[in-house]
Amino acid sequence: MKIREIFRSQFFNFPLVRRPYVIAEAGVNHEGELDIAKRLIDEAQEGGADAIKFQTYRAGSIASKYSPAYWDLSQEPTTSQYELFQKYDKFWKAEFEQLKLYCDECDIEFMSTPFDVESATFLNDLMDVFKISSSDITNKPFIEYICKFGKPIILSTGASSLDEISEAVGWIEENGNAFALLHCVLNYPTDDANANLGMIRSLMVEYPDRIVGYSDHTMPKDMKVLEVATLLGAVILEKHFTHDKMLPGNDHYHAMDKEDLKFFRANLERTFTLLGKFDKEALLSEQPARQNARRSLVAAKAIHAGQVIEFSDLTWKRPASGISPRLIEKVVGKMALKDIPEDAALQLGMLK
């Protein structure tokens, strides 16, 4: 399913838990190399992502020259946001147009998060849905500018209070855009203890008529975090993606790779096999148990023809080949039409 179809579908006909739409967040892990960007697309598609998402910005428009780092300096030693963004802001309109075409060839959806008006404008021609970063959740003029394109919006809510989320949602709703909210924690990386996946349910309670998902910054490890997020009802999942987790830099070491993604998809399929149906019913596979493990009304002692059956004449034993014990009130007081030996299951034809 394409992302726009999720917004168009009858979302509330979905079960509480459904297979998520997975976005491989490549960000700037291409490091300015088109060949690497295409490799990321190939590997995201191979791993089972529904979409690959990049980031589009210019260092000079996203951060001042005096903006401090807020990431793990042992993994990414650059102490200025401006300096870090300068390393990776080489891709622009022409490059993203090429990547969009390559995504189409590879049958994976293209996305990129814009961080300024110019990039939002040219990305509008390349995407069906806009993603707005947690860092822009208080950026009213930018959110309103993106709303003018009339497309659905995926809004990350990292480091935000419910009041701030409500305010941003208000700006979107005033423009009539469909939107989804992603729970997110802005720690790079996020410790498991700080993931707070329960906040997914908080967003679902606050916005019961909206799509809710999760943007993950935990270490990939066993990918259990994304699985739990799915079981809590996250419809959209986003996680940083790389072709090599051993590379230096802020977004490689806590990213998943194609093998992590394959592992997650395989485990998730087993989980959905376990979940099975969401409407309770007896299964065909349970028919032998229904027949043999349930009980019948059984003569506790010999019952003679013409005798009126009393409660003390009856007991209940397996299998369910006779009258069900749930009908005991309809049996007590009836007359036996024939001799019923002790331990025989009662049948309707035995009673008047």
Q: Where are the beta strands (DSSP E) in the chain?
A: 21-27, 51-56, 109-114, 130-132, 153-156, 179-184, 211-216, 236-240, 296-299, 314-317
- Kindly list the structural domains of the chain, giving each domain's residue range(s) and its CATH number in brackets, ordered by start: 11-275 (3.20.20.70), 285-350 (3.90.1210.10)
Cα 69 from chain centroid?
31
What region does 235 belong to: left with phi over 0, alpha with psi -120 to 50, or beta? alpha
pLDDT averaged over every residue in the chain: 94
What pLDDT digit, counting tens, does each position of 155-198 carry? 999 999 999 999 999 999 999 999 999 999 999 899 999 999 99
Amino acid identity of residue 165, one-letter, is I
Q: What per-residue confidence (pLDDT) applies to 133? A: 97
Whether the per-residue pLDDT at 9 is higher than 80: the answer is no
pLDDT at 99: 98
Bridge-based pairing state of the strands 153-156 and 314-317: unpaired
Amino acid identity at 145: Y
Given a cut of 80, whether residue 235 has pLDDT beyond it is yes
Residue 269 burial (CB count, 10 A)? 12
Between 90-104, 243-257, 320-334, the lowest mean confidence (pLDDT) is in: 243-257
pLDDT bracket for residue 87 (50, 70, 90): confident
Render pLDDT for 57-75 as a digit per residue (tens, 0 to 9).
998 889 888 898 877 888 8
Instruction: Give the model confidence (pLDDT) of 187-229 as tens digits.
Output: 989 999 999 999 999 999 999 999 999 999 999 999 999 999 9
Rounded average pLDDT over 125-153: 98
Proportion of the chain above pLDDT 70, given as a percent:
98
Confidence check: pLDDT of 332 > 70: yes
Using an 8 Å Cβ cutoff, are 156 and 185 in contact? no
Distance between CA atoms of residues 238 and 134, nearest Å? 13
- The Cα–Cα gap between 347 and 340 comes to 10
